[in-house]
């Protein structure tokens, strides 16, 4: 767990489209109205479809009153460092200290060269960026004696006058991903500004990148905490969660709080031009993330409650074992606790293994409790879909829906698409892991196997039941196909839906009873809790 302790910032990342400049400015103003802290624009001076970013920043500064402004990020090869330093300081003075400086070493070298810039190798671009940061800081040091003198391999400044000094200490936030660049950021910059979508390993890359930045800071004699970690993100607001930053605002808040507490991200910048998304991000997500992170920072690990007493909720049928290891069974799960074959005949509940008890007195963090709660949240979604399946059966029997249409609806559901190969929880919540890594080595169950060998029999049983449930869902689909072929006989379909209700309800209860607490303790992948 890495939290560098910075104040949280939330911002927008707006396309500087030249075709509709009024809309661009309106989105910036909306960002301010929604309570966001920061408005940013990409910088591609070689693209005629985009407004010039520095001109746009100046205009938006005049059209707003409080929001901070930054390029995301400035194309350094086409922006001379001395002039850039004076431009940033000037706008900071004019705006009342609202400017930050996002810097990039350059990309799209054909376009840069076509516009009069120098083509650089990756190594040269990193070196040039380091020299530029030195020059910019020297220009801002208006109180120092003498002119700015830098005799670098890429920039030579021979006595340029200093000043003006900016209205506040402008942060230099650098976008970059490769090891040498990350080391430079740690040694010289005030912040790291990557895009989550550009990280080859997604969230999993954050820890390694942080370590490289920290090492660069230590080598330069700097405190690693002096380097703010920012992140450009994208996502979709939806009623139910289907992946990282795809779901309700509450899910966004918990996921971003996790990134703040686990990976030290202290600024989240939402890319996109959807006004509603900007409003929800500022008015719903940002306050909730601040509350979650503040609570964790105020009592880091000191919320001395067992997961059960702390309210790791047990939705319709979830149970949580408290510190003494006693099982908290639910009404929905009680029908299986007595042992013996189940009515569906697919398995015998009496043979289900039980997870080992939690350590006595274990203290669960608020993030850990949130991770545990997600299992019940995802299962609630599946229970809703099960209810929809029963409704589909009723509609088909009543003739208000065709079997073909019912089958199409079924195939769109999570319980059908998931295939039950690694559990509904992973499919619905863990795309942040599986997006760039194989399910086999980074999914929920393999992690829990490694974290607690005592869970292995439970995990084996859950995976066996997942295979059976997949077959039961297929039975419902086959019954619908057969109903199309032989209309009027609902016997097979009724039996298939009854079996699905029985197996799925029983399985969800068992899964919640056995792994809700381990998830709260171990997380769903290394470093999560």
Digit-coded pLDDT (tens) for 207-246: 999 999 999 999 999 999 999 999 999 999 998 888 899 9
Q: Find where tokens 């009496």 sit.
A: 350
The pLDDT of residue 308 is above 50: no
Residue-wise pLDDT for 324-342, tens only, equals 333 222 323 333 434 455 6
Q: Is residue 293 a contact partner of residue 35, using CB atoms and an 8 Å limit?
A: no
Q: How confident is the model at residue 418 (pLDDT cuts 50, 70, 90)?
A: low
Q: How confident is the model at residue 487 (pLDDT cuts 50, 70, 90)?
A: confident
Tell me which of 1-15, 55-69, 159-173, 393-407 is least confident.
393-407
Q: Residue 443: what pLDDT?
A: 53
Show the tokens assigned to 311: 């309210």
Q: Taken in order 444, 445, 446, 452, is the CA torsion positive or negative?
A: positive
How many C-beta neighbours within 10 Å does residue 452 have?
A: 18
Per-residue b/e over 193-207, b at no fewer than 16 CB within 10 Å?
A: bbbbeebeebbbbbe
The pLDDT of residue 499 is above 60: yes
- Percent of the chain past pLDDT 90, that is, above it, reads 54
Per-residue b/e over 122-153, b at no fewer than 16 CB within 10 Å?
A: eeebbbbbbbbbbbbebbbeeeeeeebebeee
How many C-beta neighbours within 10 Å does residue 460 have?
A: 13
Please list, in sequence order, all residues whose beta carbon lies within 8 angstroms of the beta carbon of residue 49, skipping any fewer than 6 positions away: 17, 18, 19
* Alpha-carbon distances of 442 from 162, 245, 439, 447, rounded to whole Å: 52, 19, 6, 7
Q: Residue 10: what pLDDT?
A: 98
Q: Is residue 53 a contact partner of residue 22, using CB atoms and an 8 Å limit?
A: no
The pTM of this model reads 0.63
Q: Residue 341: what pLDDT?
A: 59
Residue-wise pLDDT for 387-412, tens only, equals 888 888 888 888 888 888 888 887 77
Helical H segments across 203-302, by residue range: 204-219, 249-263, 275-280, 286-298
In degrees and rounded to multiples of 5, residue 150 shows phi and psi of -135, 120
Which of 133, 217, 127 shows the shortest CA–CA distance to 181?
Answer: 127
Q: Residue 431: what pLDDT?
A: 36
Tell me which of 136-145, 153-162, 303-312 is least confident.
303-312
The pLDDT of residue 510 is above 70: yes
The H-or-E segment that residue 410 falls in is helix 403-412
Q: Residue 225: what pLDDT?
A: 94
How many C-beta neighbours within 10 Å does residue 324 have?
A: 11
């Amino acid at each position: 767990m890495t939290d560098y302790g910075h104040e949280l910032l939330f911002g927008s990342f707006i396309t500087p489209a030249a075709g509709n400049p009024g809309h661009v400015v309106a989105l910036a103003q909306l960002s301010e109205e929604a309570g966001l802290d920061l408005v940013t624009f990409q910088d591609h001076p070689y693209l005629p479809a985009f407004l010039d970013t520095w001109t746009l920043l100046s205009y938006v500064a005049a059209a707003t009153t409080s929001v901070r402004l930054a390029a995301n990020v400035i194309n350094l090869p086409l922006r001379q460092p001395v002039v850039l330093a004076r431009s940033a300081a000037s706008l900071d003075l004019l705006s009342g200290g609202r400017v930050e400086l996002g810097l990039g070493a350059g990309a799209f070298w054909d376009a840069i060269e076509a516009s009069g810039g120098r083509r650089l190798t990756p190594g040269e671009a990193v070196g040039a960026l380091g020299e530029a940061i030195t020059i910019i800081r020297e220009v801002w040091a208006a109180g120092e004696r003498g002119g700015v003198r830098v005799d670098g391999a890429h920039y030579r400044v021979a006595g340029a006058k200093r000043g003006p000094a900016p209205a506040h200490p402008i942060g230099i936030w650098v976008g970059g991903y490769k090891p040498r660049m990350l080391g430079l950021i740690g040694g010289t910059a005030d912040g790291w500004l990557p895009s989550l979508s550009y990280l080859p390993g997604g969230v999993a890359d954050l820890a390694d990148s942080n370590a490289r930045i920290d090492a660069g800071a230590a080598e330069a004699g700097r405190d690693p905490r002096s380097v703010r970690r920012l992140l450009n993100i994208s996502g979709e607001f939806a009623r139910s969660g289907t992946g990282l930053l795809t779901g309700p605002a509450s899910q966004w808040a918990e996921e971003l709080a996790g990134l703040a507490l686990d990976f030290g991200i202290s600024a989240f910048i939402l890319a996109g031009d959807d006004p509603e998304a900007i409003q929800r991000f500022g008015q719903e997500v940002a306050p909730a993330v601040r509350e979650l992170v503040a609570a964790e920072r105020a009592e880091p690990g000191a919320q001395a409650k067992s997961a059960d007493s702390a309210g790791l909720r047990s939705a319709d049928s979830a149970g949580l074992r408290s510190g003494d290891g006693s099982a908290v069974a639910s009404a929905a799960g009680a029908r299986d606790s007595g042992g013996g074959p189940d009515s569906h005949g697919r398995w015998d509940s009496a043979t289900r293994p039980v997870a080992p008890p939690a350590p006595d007195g274990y203290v669960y963090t608020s993030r850990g409790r949130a991770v545990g709660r997600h299992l019940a949240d995802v299962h609630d979604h599946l229970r809703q879909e099960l209810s929809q399946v029963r409704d589909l059966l009723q509609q088909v029997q009543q003739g208000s829906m065709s079997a073909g249409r019912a089958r199409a609806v079924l195939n769109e559901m999570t319980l059908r698409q998931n295939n039950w190969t690694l559990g509904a929880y992973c499919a619905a919540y863990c795309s942040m892991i599986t997006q760039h890594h194989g399910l086999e080595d980074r999914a929920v169950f393999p992690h829990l196997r490694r974290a607690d060998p005592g869970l292995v029999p439970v995990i084996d049983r859950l995976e066996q039941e997942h295979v059976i449930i997949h077959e039961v869902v297929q039975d419902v689909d086959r019954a619908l196909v057969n109903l199309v072929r032989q209309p009027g006989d609902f016997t097979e379909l009724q039996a298939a839906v009854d079996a699905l209700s029985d197996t799925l309800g029983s399985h969800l209860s068992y899964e919640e009873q056995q792994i809700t607490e381990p998830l709260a303790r171990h997380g769903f992948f290394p470093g999560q809790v």
